């Protein structure tokens, strides 16, 4: 494995850098075609394109210690809980066996503190690590930039210190987690972090099989988005709802329609 002596992006110490990934390397295996079709590569959605690809977005960025920190504090656990090719979806199974706090025809909302306990922190840490990585480093797939968002210098540093265990989760940030309610969760699509403005507030999103993570960030966020968040002041909530109704999914579909078709996209699969 190629290593580079340079300051680590997280701890800032001069170390041998790993070939770090924007999204966990193990996620790629989960997103491969489970039926063994001719094109088993996952659908990768970037800001301007959608394609099937075997390429993983990686770059020398973190040292061994910080990579291990990310794995121990969220990655390994979350990837075991999300939708998997063998049909398991442990997080959803846990929610479906519990009583929702709110129940409508379109979605169900669960207070997950009694269900997950301290594991809630693993979801927060994992989401924060991906959003921070997308902001703190320039990632590319080939020559195309991917996953480029900006948390702003102040919040980027707050997230870095939180990920190092030196401060609490940023006060003006709220994480919302949507769990796919489709009978067959979308295993084949991965959407890198992207951003938009909603009512004057920055909203960042990314998607891994069965799980959509949303970050709201700004001074008005604690007042406006606290009641629906995983790190809310009164409840720690997750939403069970259709991924295919989300704007990120709909935007991905639009990209697939306008992108140069390849592999399974050419076949309409």
Give pLDDT, residue 198. 84
Nearest one of 72, 206, 185, 188 to 133, comparing CA atoms? 206
Nearest one of 162, 140, 159 to 150, comparing CA atoms? 159
165-190 pLDDT tens trace:
999 999 999 999 999 999 988 877 77
For residue 261, the SS3 value is: coil
In whole angstroms, give the CA distance from residue 173 to residue 113. Answer: 19
Q: How far is CA 245 from CA 9, 81, 99, 182, 227, in A?
A: 36, 22, 23, 10, 21
The number of beta carbons lying within 10 Å of the beta carbon of residue 244 is 13
Instruction: Let me know: does 10 contact 130? Beta carbons within 8 Å.
Output: no
Q: Where are the beta strands (DSSP E) in 133-180?
A: 139-141, 144-146, 173-180
Instruction: Let me know: does 130 contact 23? Beta carbons within 8 Å.
Output: yes
96-141 pLDDT tens trace:
999 999 999 999 999 999 999 999 999 999 999 999 999 999 998 7
The number of beta carbons lying within 10 Å of the beta carbon of residue 268 is 7
Give pLDDT, residue 26. 85
Give pLDDT, residue 50. 57
């Amino acid at each position: 494995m190629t290593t580079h002596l340079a300051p680590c992006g997280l701890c800032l110490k001069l170390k041998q850098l790993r070939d770090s990934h924007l999204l966990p390397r193990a996620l790629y295996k989960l997103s491969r075609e489970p039926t063994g079709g001719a094109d088993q590569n996952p659908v990768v959605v970037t800001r301007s394109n959608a394609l099937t690809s075997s390429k993983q977005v990686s770059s020398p960025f973190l040292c061994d210690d910080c990579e291990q920190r990310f794995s121990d504090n969220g990655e390994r656990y979350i990837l075991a809980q999300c939708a998997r090719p063998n049909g398991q979806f442990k997080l959803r199974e846990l929610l479906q066996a519990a009583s929702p706090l709110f129940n409508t025809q379109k979605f169900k909302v669960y207070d997950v503190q009694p269900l997950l306990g301290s594991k809630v922190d693993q979801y927060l840490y994992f989401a924060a690590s991906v959003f921070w990585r997308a902001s703190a480093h320039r990632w590319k797939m080939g020559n195309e930039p991917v996953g480029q968002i900006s948390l702003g210098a102040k919040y980027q540093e707050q997230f870095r210190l939180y990920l190092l265990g030196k401060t609490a989760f940023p006060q003006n940030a709220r994480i919302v987690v949507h769990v796919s309610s489709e009978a067959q969760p979308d295993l084949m699509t991965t959407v890198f972090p992207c951003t938009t403005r909603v009512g004057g507030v920055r909203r960042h999103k990314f998607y891994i099989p069965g799980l959509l993570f949303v970050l709201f960030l700004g001074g008005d966020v604690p007042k406006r988005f606290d009641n629906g968040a995983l790190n809310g002041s009164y409840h720690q909530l997750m939403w069970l709802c259709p991924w295919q109704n989300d704007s990120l999914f709909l935007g991905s579909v639009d990209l697939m329609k306008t992108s140069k078709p390849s592999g399974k996209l050419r076949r309409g699969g």
